[in-house]
């Protein structure tokens, strides 16, 4: 075997391995077939022809068909026009100029880097604060810099004793006087019809309360089905994210205005 043959024989396995790795990385969860393209696109899309990119529904609705867990998370708002940030051209808005999931996520890119790290399809290969500051300035409250990602997602297997959700844990890890203002919260539950936690004199609402159990054992709470969708119950329990949203511009970062006790009365009769 001559020298050139030896070199080819030695590099072929490497090339094949690299090719296989590239194929595996490219064949991620968004590697759709031509038939599947029509599930989202009104016509078969053609690269470079914007008129063929028309969708069958809003981006948020299409993404939610598979990403149902987003309902249990504090997520960056979508289907809204940015008022305090100007996304650069490679962070595209919808035809109407609205923020969508694909503003930050290029869903047709690779789902993993060469070494296997997940990309979450994020544009520019950025994550965390580096991604946020592409559009946003640092906030004085520091929330943007402290947040691990734009999606603070609840996972049932992370809940402590099944009562306090991880989102609330994340909030309290700063709001213990170390980085954020001290928040005195109580963990609420029901036992033998007696509440173990009531409203704190400072105004803090107990977290970890099972809403359906509380509704069944006392008067004064509204039926679960009548609650405003802005109020999120994590695994059926009240948490910090039930009343607060990091992306809210309202005082106290409330999920809705509490003018006239509107937020309180969304759950309580009086």
Measured CA to CA, the distance from residue 186 to residue 200 in angstroms comes to: 7
- What 3-state DSSP class applies to 34? helix
The pLDDT of residue 184 is above 90: no
Instruction: Report d(CA 83, CA 101) in Å as an integer.
Output: 17
Q: How many CB atoms lie within 10 A of CB 28?
A: 16
Q: Residue 16 above 60 pLDDT?
A: no
So what's the pLDDT on residue 200? 45
Alpha helices in 55-183 (DSSP H): 59-64, 101-104, 128-132, 143-146, 166-174
- pLDDT score recorded for residue 108: 87
pLDDT of residue 262: 92
Q: Provide DSSP, 195-248.
A: ES----TTSPPPBS-BHHHHHHHSSSB--GGGS-TTS--BTTB--HHHHB-TT-
Torsion on CA atoms 155, 159, 163, 167, rounded to nearest 10: -60
CB atoms within 10 A of CB 240: 26
Least confident of 2-6, 53-57, 228-232, 262-266: 2-6
Could you tell me the two tokens for 195?
């509440």
Determine the pLDDT at residue 204.
67
Instruction: Give residue 135's pLDDT band: very low, low, confident or very high (50, 70, 90).
Output: confident
Return the pLDDT at 270. 77
What is the structure's pLDDT at 196?
Answer: 42
Nearest to 258 by CA among 223, 216, 228, 222: 228
Q: Does residue 192 register a pLDDT over 80?
A: no
pLDDT of residue 12 exceeding 60: no
CA distance 179 to 102: 32
Question: CB neighbours (10 Å) of residue 107?
Answer: 16
The confidence band for 25, taking pLDDT boundaries of 50, 70 and 90, is: very low
Q: In this predicted model, what pLDDT tens digit does every residue of 212-236 receive, in sequence order? A: 888 887 778 899 989 998 898 888 8
Per-residue confidence (pLDDT) for residue 146, from 0 to 100: 60
Task: Name beta bridge partners: 210.
Answer: 237
pLDDT of residue 29: 79
Tell me how far CA of residue 216 lies from CA of 205, 207, 220, 263, in angstroms: 19, 18, 10, 21
* Mean of all residue pLDDT scores within the chain: 75
d(CA 197, CA 169): 18
């Amino acid at each position: 075997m001559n020298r050139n043959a030896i070199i080819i024989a030695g590099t072929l396995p490497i090339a094949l391995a690299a090719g296989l790795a590239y194929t595996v990385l490219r064949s991620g969860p968004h590697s759709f077939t031509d038939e599947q393209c029509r599930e989202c696109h009104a016509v078969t899309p053609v690269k470079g022809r914007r008129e063929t990119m028309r969708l069958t529904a809003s981006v948020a609705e299409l993404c939610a068909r598979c990403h149902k867990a987003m309902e249990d998370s504090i997520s960056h708002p979508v289907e809204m026009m940015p008022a305090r940030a100007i996304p650069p051209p490679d962070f595209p808005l919808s035809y109407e100029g609205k923020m969508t999931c694909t503003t930050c996520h290029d869903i047709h890119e690779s789902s993993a880097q060469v070494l296997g790290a997940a990309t979450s399809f994020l544009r520019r290969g950025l994550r965390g604060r580096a991604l946020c500051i592409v559009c946003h300035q640092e906030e004085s409250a520091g929330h943007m810099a402290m947040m691990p990602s734009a999606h603070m997602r609840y996972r049932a297997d992370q809940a402590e004793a099944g009562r306090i959700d991880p989102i609330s844990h994340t909030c309290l890890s700063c709001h213990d006087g170390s980085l954020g203002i001290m928040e005195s919260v109580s963990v609420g539950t029901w036992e033998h019809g007696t509440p173990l936690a009531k409203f704190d004199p400072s105004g803090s609402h107990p977290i970890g309360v099972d809403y359906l159990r509380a509704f069944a054992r006392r008067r004064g709470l509204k039926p679960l089905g009548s609650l405003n969708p802005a109020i999120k119950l994590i695994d059926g329990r009240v948490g910090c994210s039930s009343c607060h949203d990091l992306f809210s511009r309202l005082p106290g970062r409330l999920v809705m205005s509490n003018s006239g006790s509107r937020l309180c009365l969304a759950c309580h009769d009086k």
